[in-house]
Amino acid sequence: MTAPSPRPPRLQGRRASWFWLAVIASLVLAVVAAREPSRLDSLLYDVLTRANARPADDQILVVDIDEASLARLGAWPWARDLHARMIDQLDRAGAGTIVYDVLFSQPSPDPAQDLALGEAIKRSGRVYLPEFLTDSGQNAPPRIVSSIPEIAQGAAGVGLAHVRFDNDGVVRRMAPFEADGPNLRPDLMTVVHRATRPAGSPDVTRGDAQTLLIPFAGPPSIYRHASFVSVLDGEVPRELIAGRTVFVGVTAPGLGPAFPTPVTPDAASMTGVQLQASILDALRRGQMIKPAESASRVAFSLTVLWLLLIGFIALPPRANLLLTMGLCLVALGYSAALLWLAHVWLSPIAPVIGLILVALVWGWGQLSRVSDLMGRELARVRSIVRARSTKPAAFQGDVISRQASSLGEAITHMDDLRRFSADALFSLPDATLVADAHGRVIAANAAAQALFAPHQPALNGASVADLINLLDPLGRRFELDWPHATDQQDPVDLHLPDGRTLQLQTVFRRDDQGAPAGWIVRLADISILTAAMRQREQALQLLTHDMRSPQTSILALLATTPDLPTETAERIAAYARRTLALADGFVQLARAEVTPVSLEPLDLADVAVEAIDEVWPQSVQRKIRIEQVGGDTPLMVLGDRGVLARALVNLLGNAVKYSPPGSTITVTLSEQASPSGPMVSAAIADQGPGFSREEAASAFRAFQRFERPGQTLAGGGVGLGLAFVQAAISRHGGEVSCRSESGVGAEFTVRLPRYGVG
């Protein structure tokens, strides 16, 4: 006998997760459905109630104690002879039933009026009076307040006019009976309904439901209404009263309580007498709503839940989505049908929310399984590099698992994408090698093949260190364990015997787990760039030595040759000093533009003090005062102290040079806000001749000079000082600006990013 094959692990896991989801969801939903209705249940009931509007009972007439009646008959409460007259008037008009929703709990000042009202009620024999439950306080049971015996003893019936509020403060239900100690007291509408209903008609108040939901026909205005004073004066036609159930009660705003209901437009606009009329209307039609029992709610919720759970196993995801939506609509429709046709309120809120949550949990689980499957497929794709013959595994399971397995087959095309990426990488113009974690070449582009071909035609498997050593770089030798496993490698310049210069740069790579994966090694030919840098250094050497030495010799010769005329000697010396200044300025500018700066945290105020000290002898000689403002607190920047000091010295030197004797130069140090963050500034303002706007706009151009009246040949610069300032400040990520007008002095402001903020 052949043993049955074991089920795939993924299929067993899927069924186990389905089983536990079914068990947990059933238990939770059963507990939730068995609880009392929530706010959402009540809101849905309100919507369905308003949607099931119906005509009001034509046999109900509400006699309003309204504002018009109060205006004509006086303030409330009225004398009881008026109520006696009203009952006699309704009796003569042939009213079938009179519900007088007014409590006469206190004797009248005139006992004769109490007796007259009692006699009128007794003569009619069709008057029903209310009782009320009042809170006795101090944890005592509620007390029942009734009309005085002289009035109530002739009534056809007496019942509680008690209003029940739901948790949200809305009146939706009534209790046919209220507990009065060990006894039950009937509701007023229960008494009226039982006394006036046709023989043999169903009576919902005789059921076992403790409360019944009220199916309001509509707002209070849906019933026939007549003003109290109009009926009392005989202005209402007899046929409007004859044979009808007449409710008499207070409807004037502010005179009696009013209650919020599902059909009233504002918070409290249905009075007690209007509420009683709505209840009697529903009782007579047999349309009072019975709340479903806990067992029915649980059975209903579990039925739709298990229909969905079965769909999870039998249907694909898209069909399950449609099934979830369909079951939610079925639950809503079934609940509405029970409410409108069978007059039973079975809320669908718990099952609908349960269906949605269970569908989300199941969908999340399915997505998790797909994600796990994709992870396995990605691992398989990685193994293709070493074993291209590996075939996709066969996946079994439900529809989603099969779809995920087909996605795994598509991932195999990633190998083509990897090959394309490698081709793009190895087509770079620079020689590029890819090495494994042991420093052995696993791939090389065409430029690398051409570079190493004269030394070793076959590169794959060769040591990267050995290959570079074959180039015989001058003064360099690489050990066998090179490159070292560090994430940061600085570029190295290799000078070859044939005069070429290669820049060697390595990038260390790690895999997903952080383990060493290998290196990418690039060798770029920078021979042309190196030659250009060499020529630049030679030019700077020419300026710093070959041009400075003759000028220094000229100045020394002038100092030892007293026979030259004074004017001639001074002019030659001025030209020599100008040439020296030109050489120094050009060298400083060139180095400021391209030489790397050594950055360190420093206080700009300290740098400004150093610059002031350096130009102090010149300012004293010209009787110029330098005043510093601010800088009491550190103004930290990240910069090269020497370069920044030279920039400030250039600005201060210009200010001293162009300021008149006896004037003041102000150095203002401050911190300012900007869109890019806090900035530190140093503003140098003089009282010299200033610049025109055109001159200020071009002040930082190289070799830009501004001659001023009275300026000597030695006093004029070579036009490189401000260009150096701009280059130096730009290398520090800052900016320098000039603000000036002719005749009012100039102000140069240096702004640098604040260091150490945030």
Q: What is the pLDDT of residue 715?
A: 45
pLDDT digits (tens, 9 = 90+) for 267-296: 557 888 999 999 999 898 888 889 988 888
Of the listed ranges 489-493, 594-598, 651-655, 667-671, the one predicted with least confidence: 594-598
Q: Which of 639, 651, 638 is nearest to 683 (CA)?
A: 651
Inter-axis angle of helices 317-337 and 294-314, nearest 10:
160
Q: What is the pLDDT of residue 365?
A: 79
Distance CA 645, CA 612 (A): 9
Q: What is the mean pLDDT of residues 220-241?
A: 90
Q: What is the pLDDT of residue 60?
A: 92
pLDDT digits (tens, 9 = 90+) for 696-711: 666 666 555 555 554 4
Q: What is the pLDDT of residue 130?
A: 93
- 724: pLDDT strictly greater than 80: no
| Whether the Cβ atoms of residue 665 and residue 627 lie closer than 8 Å to each other | yes
One-letter amino acid at 178 equals: E
Q: What is the pLDDT of residue 6?
A: 44
Q: Are strands 177-180 and 735-740 parallel, antiparallel or unpaired?
A: unpaired
pLDDT digits (tens, 9 = 90+) for 312-352: 888 887 888 888 899 999 999 988 898 888 888 888 988 99
Q: How many CA atoms lie within 13 A of 634 on its CB side?
A: 10
397 burial via Cβ count (<10 Å: 0-12, 13-18, 19+): buried
pLDDT digits (tens, 9 = 90+) for 122-154: 999 999 999 988 876 666 677 888 888 998 898
| Whether the Cβ atoms of residue 468 and residue 439 lie closer than 8 Å to each other | no
Q: What is the pLDDT of residue 119?
A: 92
pLDDT digits (tens, 9 = 90+) for 202-226: 788 887 788 899 998 888 888 999 9
Question: pTM for this one?
Answer: 0.50
- 743: pLDDT strictly greater than 90: no
25's tokens = 């969801």
Q: What is the pLDDT of residue 100?
A: 93
- 758: pLDDT strictly greater than 60: no
Q: Cα 737 to chain center, whole Å?
A: 42
Q: What is the mean pLDDT of residues 47-51?
A: 86
Q: What is the pLDDT of residue 63?
A: 93
Of the listed ranges 10-24, 39-53, 306-320, 613-627, the one predicted with least confidence: 10-24
Per cent of the chain over pLDDT 90 is 11
Q: What is the mean pLDDT of residues 588-602?
A: 64
Could you say which DSSP state residue 165 is in? -
Q: What is the pLDDT of residue 92?
A: 92
Distance CA 703, CA 716 (A): 12
Give the ranges where 546-621 is alpha helix by DSSP (H): 548-559, 566-594, 604-621
pLDDT digits (tens, 9 = 90+) for 640-664: 887 888 888 888 888 888 888 888 9
- Find tokens 């040591």 and name the residue: 463
Distance CA 545, CA 539 (A): 10
Q: What is the pLDDT of residue 643?
A: 82
- SS3 for 128? strand
- SS3 for 249? strand
DSSP 456-478: -S--TT-BHHHHHHHT--TT---
Per cent of the chain over pLDDT 70 is 76
Among 377-386, 574-583, 667-676, 739-748, the range of highest mean pLDDT: 667-676
Q: What is the pLDDT of residue 382?
A: 58
Could you say which DSSP state residue 8 is in? P
Distances in Å between the Cα of 728 and the Cα atoms of 454, 640, 740 are 46, 9, 22
Q: What is the pLDDT of residue 714?
A: 40
From first CA to last CA, the distance across the chain in angstroms is: 77
Could you say which DSSP state residue 204 is in? G
Q: Which is it for the CA torsion 94, 95, 96, 102, positive or negative?
A: negative
Q: Which of 88, 595, 29 is nearest to 358 (CA)?
A: 29
pLDDT digits (tens, 9 = 90+) for 411-452: 556 566 666 666 666 677 888 888 887 888 888 888 877 888
Q: What is the mean pLDDT of residues 386-406?
A: 51
Mean pLDDT of the chain: 79
- Find tokens 């052995």 and name the residue: 440
- 102: pLDDT strictly greater than 60: yes
Return the biggest CA–CA distance within the chain: 156
Q: What is the pLDDT of residue 247?
A: 94
- 61: pLDDT strictly greater than 90: yes
Q: Which is it for the CA torsion 508, 417, 380, 384, positive or negative?
A: negative
Q: What is the pLDDT of residue 7?
A: 45
- 384: pLDDT strictly greater than 60: no
Which residues share a beta bridge with 737?
Answer: 749
For 282, residues 6+ apart whose C-beta sits below 8 A from its C-beta are 214, 215, 216, 217, 288
Q: Which of 521, 484, 524, 525 is nearest to 506 (CA)?
A: 521
Distance CA 190, CA 203 (A): 9
| Whether the Cβ atoms of residue 100 and residue 129 lie closer than 8 Å to each other | yes
Counting every residue written for the chain, the total comes to 758
Residue 555 binned pLDDT confidence (cut-offs 50, 70, 90): low
Phi, psi dihedral angles at 132 (to 5 degrees): -130, 145
- 591: pLDDT strictly greater than 60: no
Q: What is the pLDDT of residue 8?
A: 47
